[in-house]
Amino acid sequence: VSTLDWTGRRFEVSVDAVAHGGHCVARHEGRVLFVRHTLPGERVLVEVTEDRGGSFCRADAVSVLSAAPERVAAPCPYAVPGGCGGCDWQHVTEAGQCALKAAVLAEQLSRLAGVEWEVEVEPLAGGPLHWRTRTRLAVDATGHAGFRAHRSHRVVPVADCLIAAPGTVDAVVSRTWRPGGELEITLDADAHTHVVEHRPAPGRRRPTTRVVAGGERVTERAARREWTVATTGFWQAHFDAADVYAEVVAEWAGLARGDVAWDLYSGVGLFAAVLAEQVGPQGTVLAVESVAAATADARRNLADLPQVRVVTGRVEQSLAGTPDPRTVVLDPPRKGAGRRVVEAIATRRPASVVYVACDPAALARDVATFAEHGYRLTALRAFDAFPMTHHVEALAHLTMH
Ligand SMILES: C[S@@+](CC[C@H](N)C(=O)[O-])C[C@H]1O[C@@H](n2cnc3c(N)ncnc32)[C@H](O)[C@@H]1O
């Protein structure tokens, strides 16, 4: 362990494996470096960007001495050391990004769940640029909008964002905004752009929110249905994602007429609709979601499916006293469901669990907990739903053994 702060120091390293978080591992004088803007197998000159004195520090590759075959010139001018922190893999081919994400998912499953799985990450439609229908920007002290630098509050003003849907970010950053605020841009299924501004409100804990363009609600289409979603509410960010995940959920749910199913962390009810179709009017679907605006939208969206019961509440507190499900779909936030929720599900002995995961480490931890209760991973699909970033979406099918 070093007692000297390496921040700002430069040296040459050989880069090893990719790690979870959009960086690769290298070693120097016995310490681990997490290096951004590089690839496994490369020889690079790094500059240390953060050193908190432990066994590892963080660095950027500032010059590439020997490049990996998957390296390309980053299409975005802001994806450079010290630049925008939004993307991690702009300098990698599309196939190379899928391979990196597959390696991370396989490593997390192996290390945290003891599951050896040959992971394949599949691209979604549309290629690696212009896929994002939901974008959040920050406004700097001079009123210019942009994205935060990596692990920093510093705002990097931009003229456009290449992963955002065309015509969304460029239109919003062309004017100045109230300094210190945040902007949420949404492109809906009818190609309408909605902009919500969150302005800092002096003396108040929460910022004030106002709709600057568009409306309070947006229309989306997925799983052969139309959806109403609050402009600031949750909907999958990639334009193709909701449809693709709904298809996988339908394939694995394996429900019959009259069955009981749960859709946990249900948002505006996307997967509940899929489950409701399978169980039919004689069946029951319980949809649980903690945000009241989302459950209000879910009730509207699913009004033609009386077999769905929408509950506003935390999953942790909403499962007692409900009928035992045959299938459980869960799509928790980044931190995962956690031991308490996994155990609450497993003790009800569903035949099938479909876990929709946006964080490989959280998924692996929860798969390990399911395994303690007799559930085995029987299928896995992973999608590059966040091209150019290190994020990946995995759908896991767990069945009782
Ligand atoms: C990844 S989103 C999934 C939404 C939905 N399945 C979809 O695809 O549109 C996770 C959802 O879980 C909700 N949530 C977060 N923590 C929760 C909790 N403890 N109990 C219930 N819902 C929660 C969030 O509000 C969010 O809507």
> Are 198 and 183 in contact, with CB atoms under 8 Å apart?
yes
Minimal-distance CA residue to ligand 1 atom 5? 267
Mutate to test the pocket of ligand 1, among 134, 186, 229, 265 (most ligand atoms within 8 A of CB): 265
Question: What's the CA-to-centroid distance between 271 and ligand 1, angstroms?
Answer: 12
Closest-lying ligand 1 atom to the alpha carbon of residue 271: 6
> Are 357 and 386 in contact, with CB atoms under 8 Å apart?
no
Q: What is the pLDDT of residue 202?
A: 86
What's the token pair of residue 43?
């020889």
Going from the C-alpha of 49 to that of each of 154, 249, 256, the distances in angstroms are 14, 42, 55
Whole-structure pTM value: 0.96
Q: Helices then strands (H, E): number in the chain?
A: 8, 21
* 82 contact partners, CB below 8 Å, separation of at least 6: 60, 149
161 belongs to the catalytic site = no
Residues 263-290: tens digit of each pLDDT? 999 999 999 999 999 999 999 999 999 9
> Are 347 and 372 in contact, with CB atoms under 8 Å apart?
no
Q: What is the pLDDT of residue 182?
A: 97
CB of 290 within 6 A of ligand 1: the answer is: yes
Residues 79-127: tens digit of each pLDDT? 999 999 999 999 999 999 999 999 999 999 999 999 999 999 999 999 9
The span from the CA of 138 to the CA of 331, in Å, is 27
Residue 363 backbone dihedrals phi, psi, to 5 degrees: -60, -50
> Are 249 and 354 in contact, with CB atoms under 8 Å apart?
yes
Minimal-distance CA residue to ligand 1 atom 6? 266
Question: What's the CA-to-centroid distance between 106 and ligand 1, angstroms?
Answer: 25
Mutate to test the pocket of ligand 1, among 236, 290, 366 (most ligand atoms within 8 A of CB): 290
Closest-lying ligand 1 atom to the alpha carbon of residue 315: 20
Q: What is the pLDDT of residue 102?
A: 98
Residue 18 β-bridge partners: 24
Minimal-distance CA residue to ligand 1 atom 12? 265
Q: What is the pLDDT of residue 200?
A: 86
pLDDT along the chain (401 residues), means of 10: 82 98 96 98 98 94 98 98 97 98 98 98 98 98 97 97 96 94 97 95 89 96 97 97 98 98 98 98 98 98 98 96 97 98 98 98 98 98 98 97 85
Question: What's the CA-to-centroid distance between 16 and ligand 1, angstroms?
Answer: 36
Question: What's the CA-to-centroid distance between 333 and ligand 1, angstroms?
Answer: 6
CB of 210 within 6 A of ligand 1: the answer is: no
Q: What is the pLDDT of residue 3?
A: 62
